[in-house]
Structure 1
């Protein structure tokens, strides 16, 4: 129990630290950040339940006003802005990523995590994020989708990094990858 709480807190902190990497904000208000890598890693390493809880803890800290999002943003206002759909997707994305890694054991771990991170961290996040962006900006879903296409190459790189890091961690400390325990 204590180990789980510590790991959940550790991954919430990791997501926060990844927000310190300078963001690049595009003209329509959605920044390119490294925090989505943390979402992918939380699910891949901790598994579905613990990964989602780590993200929920992170979002709770953001909601109470801690400036943990990229660019030092925090508070309830971020949950009504252009990125709100992505923020709401993050716990579900971590859960789905972890669930796929837990259940899909045939391929090498790096490949399993890569595919899981694409499905959870990209496809699901984009689906919810595009809806939120559309509502916040008053644009159609097609217009919002076209705005998001620029992010796909970077997110695919993050998914590959998540696969490589999780695989390396499993080789160095097999018991630390709880999604495969």
Structure 2
């Protein structure tokens, strides 16, 4: 009787709040919205320059926004949701691409790089606390949205196309001006969003969840 009295409150009351804190409805909604946003940014299509097999798209801009606003794990989850839907055959990538074939093509490394790239952006922004400055936001977008994505994308492009690593890196350098512009724009958009809506700051959102969980 005494053992049951001790066990039931622990299992009944302890597991539920933990689950609620881990997957709150609001977080699932935000993840879905940003997965959709990245997909929508593919609607304008693709642009291939200098014969590069990897197209230029606006979707990296969405990855940067997701990382800076959602934070580490929610941004990674948003990108993962998109990539799973793409793998299932939905034409959600720029140019109406979809299916498992895109993960064996020249741009496969860049696509896979979106996930750790978004997580890296979120992690850097989270380290900025309740008021991450514009410089931190820009550094996060550059490190995650360009550095991490290129780090995975260039070697895979070289392997798939048969180019040397140096030549693949040179071809990918044609993306840099556009990606730098995306990083600056994403930083400005996120900074304005966070000023108008403090819950868009990952650290603030995390604090509110922790406070709600303690009540």
State the TM-score bracket (shorter-chain normalisation): over 0.9
Q: CA RMSD in A?
A: 1.4
TM-fit CA distance, 1:119: 0.4
What secondary structure does 1:65 align onto? coil
Correspondence 1:115 to 2:139: yes
| CA shift for structure 1 position 177 | 2.8
SS at match of 2:53: coil
**Cα distance between partner residues in 1 of 2:180 and 2:130:** 22
In the alignment, the residues of structure 1 paired with residue 134 and residue 106 of structure 2 have an alpha-carbon distance, to the nearest angstrom, of 32
In the alignment, the residues of structure 2 paired with residue 62 and residue 109 of structure 1 have an alpha-carbon distance, to the nearest angstrom, of 34
- 2:40 alignment partner, one of 9, 12, 17: 17
> In the superposition, relative to structure 1, how do residues 179 and 97 fare at CA in structure 2: closer, same or farther (>3 Å)?
farther
**In structure 2, which of residues 151, 164, 168 is the aligned counterpart of residue 140 of structure 1?**
164
8 Å contact 2:67–2:119 — kept in the other structure? yes
Q: How does 1:70-85 map to 2 (within 5 A)?
A: 70-85=94-109
- Shift in CA distance, 164/134, structure 1 to aligned 2, threshold 3 Å: same
Alpha-carbon contact 1:15-1:35 (below 8 Å) kept: yes
Q: Give the CA deviation at 1:149.
A: 0.8
Pick closer, same or farther for the CA change 1:64–1:106 going to 2, 3 Å: closer
8 Å contact kept, 2:120–2:140: yes
> Residues 48 and 179 of structure 1 are in contact (CA less than 8 Å); yes or no, is this contact kept in structure 2?
no
Decide whether aligned partners of structure 1 residues 40 and 71 sit closer, same or farther in structure 2, where only a CA change above 3 A counts: same
Q: Output aligned runs, 1:60-71, within 5 Å.
A: 60-71=84-95
Unaligned runs of 5+ in 1: none
3-state secondary structure, aligned to 1:74: coil
Between the two proteins, the alignment pairs up a number of residues equal to 181
Question: Conserved in 1, the CA contact under 8 Å of 2:131 and 2:201?
Answer: no
- Is structure 2 residue 186 aligned with structure 1 residue 162? yes
Q: Deviations over 1:114-161 (max 9, x none)?
A: 100100110111111001100110011101001111111110111111
Moved beyond 4 Å, runs of 4+: 105-108
Asked whether the 8 Å contact 1:109–1:163 carries over to 2, the reply is: no
Q: Unpaired runs of 5+ in structure 2? A: 1-23, 206-215
Task: Show the 5 A alignment for 1:33-48.
Answer: 33-48=57-72
* Superposition deviation, residue 21 in structure 1: 1.8
